[in-house]
Amino acid sequence: MTLNQLRTLLAIADAELNISLAAARLNATQPALSRQLRQIEEELGFQVFVRHGKSLAQITRAGGEVLARARAVLGEVRNIEALAANHRRETRGTLRVATTQALGRFVLPAALGRLRARFGAVQLRLRPGGGEECLDLLERDEIDLALVSTEGERPAGDVALPLFRWNRALVALPGHPLAGGNAPLSLTQIAQYPLIAADTATQADFKMGRAFREAGIEPNIACTARDADTIKTFVRLDLGIGIVAEMALTPEDEDLVRLPAAHVFPGCITWAILRSDRIQRDYVFELLRELAPTLSREEIDRVIHGERGLDLTSRIAHWAA
């Protein structure tokens, strides 16, 4: 079998057996991809996919074994290509990153700008999503690294490198009753007013809500939004107090009042999650150094190469613009 044949099988599987979508991803036509699939199955002597009419319905048992080995083979091909590119000191390549909106909008641009100084020809493929979505993309080997945040706990994933710490902040209009005082706000005071938070605020596992629950207080979540820009827009419409990541506040938000919240909400850590079975390009290491300037290349290497029990959370700094 050829590598292109393996790529065809995986493209179909990763497109949830939608040949039209797989063909589009491979820059091929649906008839051509269907013919190639029939040729592959004739060569193998069995079906990789079960048909239902003209559509593919599911993966056969033997097909599942083929796909697993095809994924491993193509993964090793990419590893060899990455190894060779690093030895050549190649500055070209594609960096595939999945991250949350706040990190992609307010943190990554500056780091990528500095990365360009050394790797000017690197193309970025950014995939926005929630934490679980980012980890799923990494599991499917569709990205090189995922950037996610937790309230300190190590996230799931083969390799988890802590990058920096950050806090949440409250934002309100200047005329809001809580915006005029100098004393630190309490959860009781905050809960008296409508709050605007991320979509996860209405979920049972909403971790920030733990602070309210432990205090026996029910927060008034007036509305939720997917991203910090929308939350700030809702604040400007006087719909309530916004809860955002501190890095989401920029000089353009001078019309809003920032209310410190580090004393009432748990602090957060942003992590880079990578696969342990992949050789990373040099520009991946460079990006990690930009995001975690207090960590050395040696420390990053040790984590990425799978050293167990190495805790670097005490070595990372607080986020700074």
Same domain, 221 and 291: no
Where residue 65 sits, what CATH number does that domain have? 1.10.10.10
Please tell me the predicted confidence (pLDDT) of residue 307.
82
CB 120 within 8 A of CB 166: no
Where residue 310 sits, what CATH number does that domain have? 3.40.190.10
- Which tens digit of pLDDT belongs to each residue from 62-73? 999 999 999 999
Same domain, 10 and 53: yes
pLDDT band at 206 (very low <50, low <70, confident <90, very high): low
Please tell me the predicted confidence (pLDDT) of residue 204.
44
Same domain, 181 and 308: no
Same domain, 283 and 161: yes
Same domain, 308 and 298: yes
Same domain, 175 and 255: yes
Domain endpoint, select from 42, 60, 84: 84
Mutual orientation of helices 282-291 and 297-304 as an angle, nearest 10°? 120
CB 166 within 8 A of CB 270: yes
- Which tens digit of pLDDT belongs to each residue from 287-310? 999 999 999 999 999 998 878 778
How many domains does one find in the chain? Answer: 3
Task: Say whether pLDDT at 208 is over 70.
Answer: no
Same domain, 218 and 288: no
Q: Which domain holds residue 228?
A: 168-260
The CA distance from 167 to 270, in Å, is 11
- Distance between alpha carbon 203 and the CA centroid of its chain, in Å? 20
* Ramachandran area for residue 16 (φ above 0: left; ψ -120 to 50: alpha; else beta): left
Domain endpoint, select from 226, 260, 294: 260
Among residues of the chain, what percentage have pLDDT more than 90? 70
CB 259 within 8 A of CB 186: no
Domain endpoint, select from 84, 112, 128: 84
